[in-house]
Amino acid sequence: MSEQIPVKDVTPVKAKATEYTDLYASREKIYTRSFTGLFRNLRISGGALLFVLYFGTLWLNWGERQAVLWDLPGRKFYIFGATFWPQDFVLLSWSLIICAFGLFFITVFAGRVWCGYTCPQSVFTWVFMWCERITEGDRNQRMKLDKQPMSGAKFLRKFAKHGLWLSIGLVTGLTFVGYFTPIRELLPSLVNGTADAWAYFWIGFFTLATYGNAGWLRENVCIYMCPYARFQSVMFDKDTLIVSYDPRRGEKRGPRKRDADYKAEGLGDCIDCKMCVHVCPTGIDIRDGLQIECIGCAACVDACDSIMDKMGYPKGLISYTTEHNLSGQQTHLVRPRLIGYAIALVTMAGLLAYAISIRSLAELDVLKDRVLYRENDEGRIENVYVLKIMNKAQRDLTFTIKADGLEGLVYEGKPEIVAAEGEILTVPVELSIDPEKLPSSTNDVRFSIQAIEDPSIKSESESRFIGPAVR
């Protein structure tokens, strides 16, 4: 018999029981407290600017139309004086790439300031929390109200809060749809019931989405749904600005009287008031270190600074700082990765600006007929083409049509054609040449169009002229 190693079961008795541990912690409602401070004012100013841009831009006119309008049925996208077409979507791709690199750059430099100050989820959440405060009171009043049984007063407060939430969501949905349907036509059609069914659907969808995300989901969107919190750590380094608590100065925590000699008692500057926790929109304790839930809004900085003022201590116990700074080392604001992102960002922005500046307001595509070539009554070799001419300008244009590339080439077709704003014309044309002047069986030819009203509006496209084999 082989010897067996003796094994002793050290599993706790409780663990042997048929008990299951829920790996998902149920959400605890966060009751934020009102506060004031520099970063709150910056956030309000930035949010107000974003609201003015979002809710106000669609009421601007450019000539006889809405200044910014995404006309999906007409496949035209108006941005003030410029008109973009589906063929210009490569510019949209470049814009999105530039935005991504801009986000990478700001993350490497200053962490999640995008999340804390300009992310729509955060901006709307702060607005919805303001609605809570004006209808249900501050933190302690809301906590007390939620514990009370339903009454007439409680119902009215809750009704007012949800009414404000739904009103903000409705205005948000109307504004969003107004960028795709002229807002001055949309509102009357919604009232008299003549609007498209899709307009009602999308307005309802964005109303409920805003109401649900900013009113109910809130921090769960940032913690569980947004991927940015997950990959941000890849871009962080020890020189990235983050909101952080200084344990060297703050520990040991503890309450004390304002004029007490707390240093003699072995206490740090942190009085353990938990104000930083009470103002946090994601409900974390920043004193536990950098956490994935932190959105860098600096609410805890404002709250802590106000307490430091009251206690007569220096501000900055919680501040925007770096890991190097916290460990007593020098912070390097300029570093290779940041420079790399900056170069890429400036380069791509410059290329996009150049591409837009040279973007032609006319487009020409040439399709050759399936019949390779034919011989006409005069013995000349003919090729047939179909020209697709697109007028991308915001006015009617008259285009001249030319063809060249071979000596003795004769263009047979309309020399001029009128294209209305946004019109795509299909124009059949023929080219002919004396067979003795054909240098080979396959030859390059070039078609070009130019607007008479504005010679800078032009386009060209190449094709092939096919003939018999040259002996």
Indicate whether 23 pLDDT > 50.
yes
The band of 9, judged by pLDDT with boundaries at 50, 70 and 90, is low
Confidence band, pLDDT 50/70/90 cuts, at residue 40: very high
Q: What is the reported pLDDT for 227?
A: 87
CA distances from 188 to 59, 70, 181, 193, 380 (A): 15, 19, 12, 8, 63
332's CB contacts (< 8 A; 6+ apart) are 239, 324
**Where residue 3 falls among pLDDT bands split at 50, 70, 90?**
low
CA gap 210, 218 in Å, rounded:
10
Lowest-confidence region among 8-12, 158-162, 205-209, 399-403? 8-12
Which residue ranges make up each domain of the chain?
1-359, 362-466
* 428: pLDDT strictly greater than 90: yes
Q: What is the pLDDT of residues 169-198, one digit of tens each?
A: 999 999 999 999 999 999 999 999 999 999
pLDDT at 22 exceeding the cut of 60: no
- State residue 76's pLDDT score: 87
Band (450; pLDDT cuts 50, 70, 90): very high
Strand partners, 403: 447
- pLDDT tens digits for range 406-424: 999 999 988 999 999 888 9
Tell me the per-residue pLDDT of 115-173, one tens digit each, with 9 for 90 and over.
Answer: 999 999 999 999 999 999 999 999 999 999 999 999 999 999 999 999 999 999 999 99
Phi, psi of 2 (to 5 degrees): -85, 145
Domain 362-466 has CATH 2.60.40.10: yes
The pLDDT of residue 19 is 54
Residues of the chain above pLDDT 90, percent = 80
Task: Give the mean pLDDT of 225-252.
Answer: 90
Mean pLDDT of all residues in 48-70: 95
Alpha-helix runs per DSSP H in 87-119 = 89-110, 113
Q: How many CA atoms lie within 13 A of 263 on its CB side?
A: 2
Cβ partners under 8 Å of residue 130, min gap 6: none
The Cα diameter of the chain in Å comes to 113
pLDDT at 10 over 70: no
Region 314-321: what's the mean pLDDT? 97
pLDDT tier at 64, thresholds 50, 70, 90: confident
Tell me the torsion sign for CA atoms 198, 201, 204, 206.
negative
The pLDDT tens digits of the residues spanning 384-396 come to 999 999 998 888 9
What is the per-residue pLDDT for 471? 63
Report the pLDDT value the prediction gives residue 148, as an integer from 0 to 100: 96
**What pLDDT, in 10s, does the model give residues 338-373?**
999 999 999 999 999 999 888 889 999 999 999 999
Has residue 336 got a pLDDT over 80?
yes
What's the whole-number mean pLDDT along residues 229-257?
91
What is the pLDDT, as a whole number, of residue 25? 61
Is 88's pLDDT higher than 90?
A: no
The pLDDT value given to residue 15: 47
Confidence category of residue 202, pLDDT binned at 50, 70, 90 = very high
**Across the chain, what does the average pLDDT equal?**
91
Report pLDDT for 6.
55
Comparison of pLDDT for 385 and 235, the residue scoring more? 385
Instruction: State how far the Cα of 429 lies from the Cα of 68, in Å rounded to an integer.
Output: 38
410: Cβ–Cβ under 8 A, 6 or more apart, which residues? 380, 431, 432, 433
Alpha helices in 152-246 (DSSP H): 152-178, 183-192, 197-212, 219-220, 228-235
* Mean pLDDT across 217-244: 89
> What's this model's pTM, rounded to 2 decimal places?
0.85
Q: Bigger pLDDT: 107 or 229?
A: 107
Residue 219 has pLDDT above 50, yes or no: yes
Do β-strands 381-391 and 362-368 pair in parallel, antiparallel, or remain unpaired? antiparallel
Indicate the pLDDT class of residue 213, thresholds 50, 70 and 90. very high
For 277, residues 6+ apart whose C-beta sits below 8 A from its C-beta are 283, 284, 285, 286, 300
- What whole-number percentage of the chain has pLDDT above 70? 94
Say whether pLDDT at 20 is over 70. Answer: no
